[in-house]
Every structure is written in structure tokens, then in C-alpha cells.
Amino acid sequence: MLVLPSTLKIYNASAGSGKTTFLVINYLYVLLKSPYPDEFKRVLALTFTKKASEEMKNRILQCIKEFSNKKIKKEYHFLFDHITKNLNLTKHQLYQRSKQILFSILSDFYSFSRNISTIDKFTYNIIRSFFSEKEAHLEMDTERFLLKIVENILSRLKNSEKWSKILIQSSLEKLKKGNNWDLGKELFKMAHMMVKENNFFYVKKITNYSFEDFMQLKNILIKRTKIFEKKCKEKGEKFFKLLKKTSIQKDSFIHLDLPRFFKKFQNENIFFNPFNKRIEKYIQKEILYSKFFDDKHQKILIEKNKKKILLLYEETKLIYKKNISNYLLDKLFLKKISILSVIHEIYKEFHYVKNNKKIILNAELNKMLYERIVEGTFPKIYEKIGTQYKYYFIDEFQDISLLQWQNIRILVENALSENGSAMIVGDPKQSIYRWRGGDAKQFINLIYSKSNFYKKKIKTIEKNFRSYKEIVKFNNLLYPSISKIFNSTIYQDIYKNYKQKIDKKSGGYVEINFIHDSNKNYKEHIYSKIKNKIEKLLKKKYALSDIAILVRNNEEGHFLSEKLVKDGIIVNTSVSLLIKNHFEIQIIINFFYIIAYPHYYKKRVLLILSLLKIKFLRTKRNHHDFIMKILFLPLDLFLKKILFKNSLTLNKLYNQSIYNISEKIIEAFGLLNKQNSTYIYSFLDFVYRSMKKVENSIIDFLDYWELKKKKESIVISDHINAIRLMTIHKSKGLQFPVVLIPFTDWNIFSRENKEEVWIDVNSHLYNGFNTIYLEMEPYFKHIKHDNNIRNFYEYYLSNIKFDNINLLYVATTRSIEQLILFSKLGNNKSVSFYIKNFLCEKKIWNENKFQYIFGKDEKSS
């Protein structure tokens, strides 16, 4: 459907609804409606991935190219006729306009290409306009940059008497609680926290405070918590003194509830709620002992002192309820305050290194642009952009961050106020990037909020053009059922009202397999099922490249890909076949270590054992004796002993590039063969790429290897016939004839990293601080007596539930013809529990049945 450019148009586009085609059609409509052939210069289309922007450019160009031919290919007839009808043009007029537009685009392809861009590239181009190449360069590797910051700070802090005391104190506090203390790791977390967009406003506030401010606050919190703990202890001791004075035995009390209660206060064990429903019930009824209690003397003593006991309980309860909220926040903040006090030093070092090395950090582009807009230091560039663009198209809006939208919104609102138009397309159900700043609430708020600046038209693109009938029907039934999981009415409505229309009228197949929970080798069992399913699919004439396996995380991907490759099945994957796991690569890395660190004897041992294993080294001696004989030799003699048949010496390695050394090691040990060539060449590719970062320093190369080795996998061409194995996150935006989801039982509350939370507080109570930083901990669920923390925790859980159900949604909507799930039955924290609930609702669940089928298992023609 074509939409006239007028007001802000918001489209809720569920998976498979052809949103790219929809955007392309509306983009073409703007171009062909205009009498100016260079109208594309006034259109800005923003996507989230380079692949999406390239696809959009290609499709637009292809359409314009086809329309500019008098003989249009059959597949373009419908679109051509549709546009001529809606624009009220003759075919000849559309043909002529298309020719002129194509010529204009080809004459200024740079403008056309630049105006269909990723949001990050658009932001970077604006920032770039303020700096020359000499003034700053873009740094993409945020982790490497932050590690350098931490290294510098560690060096400086350890030589500072003031900081040494703080760090030693923090270390002791951790050790007292039985926790490991890795200062570098903690500093890295703080440094990483600084660059995360979600923390931007809070970090900006907190870096205004000095180290002395933090220490003053720490002393205030310690003093305040100790006063409260002392009061609590006094109440506990008062109770037991009363028992002693009155000769009341503690086991006289019903269920021993009161003695246990006051014991917690006496021991200052008050962090978790010491009250419970049972004790409250009996206290309200003034029942202190059981009706079956038969010690009359004790009954008399308790009755005689009942008022004192009840009064003491109420006094204790009053003190607790009055102070507990602040006490909990104080205790939680105290856990972080020592390391947080270093944030000012990190901030200073951060900016010093950036300025010194003339770096623009990729992770900070949105923040830099936002600050410039707020400070008003560059209205001219925005004025220029505002006059340049009249039409805006924004794709995947559910993944936009708060700052990205704030930066773009000004331009969009300006265009709308001047009779331009803006089209926003998104789907909150596909919001799976909250961990990197993506916030579906931007899209949700845009739908539900009112604006004084513009009108809104909100529509849903209802038809699914991707999946066959049975898959669409299955998802249409599953997700309204799952919607009950949410407490949030907004999240609930997003899924409750989900229903797509079917484009492909027949066919499709869904299979749900439950694996028995008691199976000890669950992963192995899943793999055997996956392998059998692949074999059946191949017999039905599916190609390997028709099949995609989607996993929740890299660990699952590594397990499955290694198994598949071992069984001779070709796999194309971004998560598997890590080169670090390959034996020959370990030999090369160990060799580098002993060159860089001649006295690193552990690496020498590992190298010798590896060479013995591949039978490069042979010895009649006992292995232990052989190792001990050569282990401590000077490096040049050690190399002669392990390379006795080769002329490779230390002298031949000096002044060589890391790449050349790698080749010489491979040649010297005969590491390259047909079976491992892909791994070896992938490693050499990594070495070549790394030299841009580390130049020719072996030590720096090894540091870089340790940083990157968990992500470096073998390089396989997309054009070979291989199974695609990827994480669900990587599969977003893609589609496959067959999708297998092997472990459909992840925890709906699972999150790989702890989430940071910033809580607004009364500045009078916190030495001028109006916000404090906490990390969400699993034990927060037990803090039910403080509304502040409980509300934050419930909000946090609600978001994580939404993330995890969205992951399931993305996974189950990638398939065209077949969708096959494997899962073990889990508790109400597992997604499999809610799939089972759905089957129960449809009255098809059977405790003795482990496979459920929708549709027919047949290859669509």
C-alpha cells in the first residue's frame, strides 16, 4: 500500500511482513512523484546494518533501472502498474521519469549511496565533519582501548599511596566475604560502564564528584548502617535478657518463631526480611505459645510478660520498617563505592588517551553528537541537514537507542513541520539488542505518546510473505498464549494481539520434540536428534544450505559445529570452529610465547607435549626425563633440540614480520595438511589483520590474541553448500527454508551479564549525590520488604522476560517451510514450559507423548 507523504507514519511490521519491500516501494513513490530527477538528494533512509542498507540501495536501483526500460521484466509488472495507478501517471511518463532519475543517480552516486546509510555511519559522518584526518581517527576496537586505559590506571594507582590504601581496603572487604578480587577486571567493568550509552546521563553526573566526595559518603554510609545495626542488636539482646530475667524458656514459644526472629536482630542478620506471615498472624492474635503446650508454669510466665514481649516486637518492627529502605540501599552501594570512587581517575585517563592519540571512539559517537546538540555548538550543520532532507525513512526502529532517537528526532520533527514526511518501521517483538542500547520502549512510546509537533498514523503490516501456512498458524496461536507470562500490560498486549495474515496459502511443517528430563547426556542426545533430522531432510532433497541451526549462545554453537564437522557435515557458521581450539594453532601460539618469554617454562612443556603428540618429536626415553633434560636449556639450544631436523634458528627469526615467523613455524613443524588448511589459513588471516594493530611486536600480538581468540573462527565462503549455524541474534533479518532450534529451553530470566541500575536518591541523605549505582544481583528477589528495590528488580525481570520471549519469537519466525524445535521439559522459568502450556491450552498435551506435529512433513515445490 502506498502512503502519501504528509505526517509521521509508524508501521508495526511483524516478522516476514516484507518491510524492506514496503520501504523500497514508498521510497520509489517519493522519487517518482517528484518532478525533480534529483529528489533522492532530499531523502534520508536509515537502517541498522550495512547489509540492510546495501540491500535497500540495490533494490531501489534495480527497480529504477527496470522502469527505465521499455520492456520490463515480468516480475516488475505489478509494481510498475501499481505505481502508475497511484501516482496517476501514464506508463510513458513513469518510464521517462525513471530514465531521468537513473541518470541523475548515476551522475551523483555518492549522494545516493550516502543518503541510504546505517544510523552509525550517518552519525559518524556528522561527527567527522568537525575533525580533519589529522585531528582524529575512528577507533572501532573499544575493548582494546579500554584495556589500555586500565593498564595505565593500574600502573599509576599502584604507585599512589592514597589509592593503594583504598584498593587494599576494597580487596580485604571482598576477601572477607569469600569473593575473589581481580582489580583489573573491576576497573575494566567501570571503564566499560562509562562507554555504554544506557549509562550516559548517570556517568555524566557522577564524574562531577571528587574522590574526597566519595570517601565522605562512604564514611557517612558506614556510620549510618552501624547505628541501625546497633539498634537492631540492642533489641535482640533486650529480648533474650528479658527471657533470662523472667526465666522464660525460648522453646516455650510457638514454632520458636519469636526467639529466631530476635536472634537475627541480635546477630545483625537483618539484610533479608526477618519477618514472616506466620509470626505476624500470631502476634496480631497475641498468641505466643501453642494450645497444645502443657507447661503451665511457662504459660503463666509468658502471660505475665506478654505486654512487654509484644511491645518489644512492635518497637523492633517500627525501627526496622522506618530505616530498612535506606539501610539496604546504603549496604548495596557500599559494596561498589570503593571501586566507583576510581571512576574520576578512569574518566580523566579516558579523555587523556583519547586526546593524546587523537581518537574518536566508535562506541561514543551517539554521545558526542548528543552533547554537541545539547550544548548548541553546531546548529549550522543541523540547519544544513534540516534544509537538505525533506523525507525520512527509519528501519528497525525497535533497535534504536535513546540517544540515537534524540539525535535524529530533531531532524524528523523539523521535516514534518515544513510539510515533509517521515516513515518509521519496526517491531517491538524483534527487540533483542537491549544489552547494547537498543530500546523497544522508544518505539512503544512513539506509538502511545501524543505530540504537539505532528500528527501520527499508526498501522500494522499484517501479511506474512515469508512462511508457509502451518508455520504462520502455529506462531499465531503460540504467542497470544505466551503473552500471559507478562505482568506489564504493554508487553502483554504486544503478543496478545499478535496475528498475521497468511500469504502462502498451503504447506508448511512445525515439529516440537521434547527430550526426557532425566537424560544424563542431554546435549549429546540433542545432537543425535539433530543429525538424524538433517539426514532425513537431505533425503527429501533439501540442500545443506537450505538448513539453518539457531542457538542461544556461542557455547551451544561451538558444541554442535564441532560435532557436525567431525561427522563430515559442512558447516558455515560465525560461532563455531574457533581456531584457538585447533591443535596446530596451539603449537604456533606456544612457540610465539617461548620466543617472547624465554623463561616461560610452562609453555615449553606444552610445546614439547604437543610435538610428541603429533610425533614430530620422538624419544626412546621416558617423556618426563626427556622434558627435564631439555626444558631449562638456553633458548637457542632448546630450539635446536626440538628442531633437530630443521635449520630454523633464533637468528633467522630476528627482524622478520610476525606473519613471516608464523609461516616459518608452520613450515618447520610441517603443520599444514589438507585436513587443517582452513584453520591454518584462517589463523594467518588473523595474523595479517592483527599487524595493523600491533605492528611487529610479538608481545603485543600475544596480548591481542588473548583478547580476540574467543571470537576468531574459521573463514568459510557463503557460496558453498553448507548448513548455516548461528546465534539467534545473528539470524535476525534472515530467512531459511528449514530452521532447527536445538535447545529451546533457555531460562526466561537468564542474562549473560549483570545489569547496571542507577537509583535516584535524596541528595541530603547521600552527601549531595542524587543517584547511586548498583548491579542487579539474583538475591534481590529475596528483598521483598523494600518497595524501591523490589520495584526496580521487578522492572528488571520484566525487561529480561521480554528479551527472552523476543528471542524465541525471532527464532520461530525465520523459517519458510519447516520449523523444528528440540527441548527438554523445564520449570516455569524455561521457555519450554510455556510451549507446553500452549499445547495444554489446545488440549493436545499428553504426558506420554514427546513429539507434536503441525502440518505435513513434505518438501514444498
Span 796-805, average pLDDT: 92
Please give the residue that has the higher pLDDT: either 166 or 829: 829
Instruction: Tell whether the model's pLDDT for residue 129 goes beyond 90.
Output: no
Of 207, 306, 181, 212, the closest CA to residue 254 belongs to 306
What percent of the chain has a predicted confidence (pLDDT) above 70?
A: 93
Mean pLDDT of 71-76: 88
| pLDDT tens-place string over residues 513-566 | 998 766 568 899 999 999 999 999 999 999 999 999 999 988 898 889 888 888
Q: Judge whether residue 351 has pLDDT over 50.
A: yes
The Cβ-side half-sphere exposure at 512, using a 13 Å CA radius, reads 25
Lowest mean pLDDT among 152-161, 350-359, 390-399, 851-860: 152-161
Provide the pLDDT for residue 735: 94
Whole-number pLDDT of residue 174: 58
pLDDT above 80 for 744? yes
* pLDDT for position 3: 46
> What share of the chain has pLDDT > 90, as a percent?
42
CA 35, 38, 44 angle in degrees (round to 5)? 110
Cell 557463503, residue located: 718
Q: Are 516 and 529 spatial neighbours (Cβ–Cβ below 8 Å)? A: no
Across 3-10, average pLDDT: 70
* Residue 717 reports pLDDT greater than 70: no
What integer pLDDT is reported at residue 469 of this predicted model?
95
pLDDT (0 to 100) of residue 646: 65
Rounded Cα gap, residues 162 and 178, in angstroms:
25
- Once rounded to an integer, what is the mean pLDDT over residues 359-379? 82
User: Which one of 301-310, 637-646, 669-678, 694-703 scores highest in mean pLDDT?
Assistant: 301-310
pLDDT band at residue 816 under the 50/70/90 scheme: very high
Q: How confident is the model at residue 301 (pLDDT cuts 50, 70, 90)?
A: very high
Instruction: Specify the DSSP class assigned to residue 90.
Output: -
CA 206, CA 204: separation in Å to the nearest integer? Answer: 6
The answer to whether the CB of 642 falls within 8 A of the CB of 617 is: yes
Q: What is the pLDDT of residue 5?
A: 44
Which pLDDT score, from 0 to 100, does residue 4 have? 44
pLDDT at 184: 78
pLDDT of residue 133: 66
Q: What is the pLDDT of residues 562-616, one digit of tens each?
A: 888 888 888 887 655 678 877 889 899 999 999 888 888 888 888 888 888 888 8
Q: What is the pLDDT of residues 427-439, one digit of tens each?
A: 999 998 887 777 8
pLDDT value at residue 166: 64
Three-state DSSP at 642 gives: helix
Residue 772 host element (H or E): strand 771-775
Q: How far is CA 272 from CA 174, 275, 673, 780, in A?
A: 20, 9, 61, 9
Report the pLDDT value the prediction gives residue 163, as an integer from 0 to 100. 64
Question: In angstroms, rounded to a whole number, what is the distance separating the alpha carbons of residues 601 and 279?
Answer: 63
How far, in Å, CA of 361 to CA of 784, rounded? 41
Give CA angle at 487 (486, 489), nearest 5°.
Answer: 90
SS3 750: coil
Question: Residue 638 pLDDT > 70, yes or no?
Answer: yes
Q: Which of 701-705, 750-754, 809-813 is predicted least confidently?
A: 750-754
Give the pLDDT score at 599. Answer: 86
Give me the mean pLDDT over the 796-802 stretch: 90
Quick one: pLDDT at residue 142?
Answer: 86
Beta strand pairing call for 771-775 and 756-760 = antiparallel
Q: Which range among 158-162, 321-325, 498-502 shows the weakest confidence by mean pLDDT? A: 158-162
Q: How confident is the model at residue 485 (pLDDT cuts 50, 70, 90)?
A: very high
